[in-house]
Amino acid sequence: MEWDWDFVWEILPTLAKGVIITIQATLLGSVLAMVLGLFTALARRSPSKWISAPMFVFNDFIRGTPLLVQLYFLFFILPDLGILLSPLAAGVIGLGIHYSAYISEVYGAGIDNVSKGQWEASKAVNLTVPQTWRHVILPQAIPPMIPALANYFVAMFKETPLLAAITVIELMNAARSVANESYRYLEPMTLVGVFFLLVSIPCVLMLRHLEKRFAPNDQR
Amino acid sequence: MIDWPGYIGLILKGAILTLQLTSAGIALALVMAFVAGLARLSPSASVRWLATIYIEFFRGTSVFVQLFWAYFVLPLIGVPISPFQAGVLALGLNVGAYGAEVVRGAVQAVPREQHEACTALNLTRWQSLRHVIVPQAFVVMLPTFGNNAIELLKGTAIVSLISLSDMTFQAQVVRAQTGNTAIPFLTILILYYLISLVISQSTRRLERRLSAGLDVKT
Say which amino acid occupies B39.
A
Q: Give Cα separations from B61 to A69, A158, B5, B93 (angstroms).
A: 21, 7, 40, 12
Whole-number pLDDT of residue B64: 82
Are A197 and B60 in contact (CB < 8 Å)? yes
Architecture field, domain B4-211: Orthogonal Bundle (1.10)
Domains of chain A: 5-219 (1.10.3720.10)
* CA atoms of B169 and B166, how far apart (whole Å): 5
How far is A175 from A172, CA to CA, in rounded Å? 5
Q: Determine which of A68, A105, A180, A198 to mutate to test the interface with B (most B C-beta atoms within 10 Å).
A: A68
Instruction: Say which range, A62-71, A78-87, A206-215, has the weakest mean pLDDT.
Output: A206-215
Chain B neighbors of A81, CB-CB under 8 A = none
Identify whether the C-beta of residue A112 lies closer than 8 Å to the C-beta of residue A41: no
Q: How confident is the model at residue A80 (pLDDT cuts 50, 70, 90)?
A: confident
Residues of A with CB under 8 A from a CB of B: 1, 60-61, 63-70, 72-73, 76-77, 80, 158-162, 164-165, 172, 176, 179, 185-186, 189-190, 192-193, 196-197, 200-201, 204
| Count of CA atoms in the C-beta half-sphere (13 A) of A217 | 1
Assembly ipTM? 0.81
Q: How far is CA B215 from CA B41, B114, B139, B140, B218, in A?
A: 23, 12, 11, 11, 10
The minimal CB distance from A64 to the residues B156, B168, B196 is found for B196
Residue A112 has pLDDT above 70, yes or no: yes
Instruction: Name the band, by pLDDT with cuts 50, 70 and 90, for residue B218.
Output: very low
Distance from C-alpha of A114 to C-alpha of A125, rounded to nearest angstrom = 17
Q: Are A69 and B157 in contact (CB under 8 A)?
A: yes
What residue ranges do the domains of chain B occupy?
4-211
Cα distance from A53 to chain B (closest Cα, Å)? 17
Using DSSP, state whether B36 is helix, strand or coil. Answer: helix
* Whole-number CA gyration radius for chain A: 21
Cβ-proximal residues to B130 (8 Å cutoff; 6+ apart), any chain: none
Residue in chain B closest to A187 (alpha carbons) equals B73
Find the closest chain B residue to A3 by CA distance: B77
Residue B39 or residue A183, greater confidence: B39
pLDDT digits (tens, 9 = 90+) for B124-179: 888 998 899 998 899 989 999 999 999 999 999 988 888 889 999 999 999 889 88
Q: Which residues of B touch A65 (CB under 8 A)?
A: 154, 189, 192-193, 196
pLDDT score of B141: 92
d(CA A164, CA A172): 7
What is the arithmetic mean of pLDDT over B55-67? 86
Task: Say how many C-beta atoms besides its own lie within 10 A of residue A32's C-beta.
Answer: 18
Give the separation between CA B189 and CA B7, rounded to whole angstroms: 15
Interval B180-196 mean pLDDT: 92
Q: Which residues on chain B are in Cβ contact (under 8 Å) with A197?
A: 57, 60-61
- Over 70: is that where the pLDDT of A79 sits? yes
Residue A216's pLDDT band (cuts 50, 70, 90): low
Residues in chain A: 220
Is a pLDDT exceeding 90 seen at residue B68? no
* Residue B49 contacts A, CB cutoff 8 Å: no
In the predicted model, what is the mean pLDDT of chain A?
88
Verify whether the Cβ–Cβ distance B185 to A161 is below 8 Å.
Answer: no
Q: Is the pLDDT of residue A115 over 50?
A: yes
